[in-house]
Amino acid sequence: MEMKVFWTRYAEEKLKDIFIYYSDRVSLRIAQKLTKEIIDKSFEIQKHPFTGQKEILLAGRVQDFRYLVYKNYKIIYWVNVNKKRIEIVNIFDCRQNPQKLNDF
Three-state DSSP class for 104? Answer: coil
- The pLDDT tens digits of the residues spanning 43-54 come to 999 989 999 999
Going along 1-104, which residue ranges are E strands?
A: 4-7, 53-54, 66-70, 73-80, 85-93
What residue ranges define each of the domains in the chain, with the CATH number in brackets?
4-95 (3.30.2310.20)
Count of C-beta atoms within a 10 Å radius of residue 58: 19
Residues constituting the chain: 104
d(CA 61, CA 78): 11
d(CA 94, CA 67): 12
| pLDDT, tens only, 63-103 | 999 999 999 999 999 999 999 999 999 999 999 888 888 87
pTM: 0.91
C-alpha distances in angstroms, 66 versus 31, 51, 80? Answer: 25, 8, 12
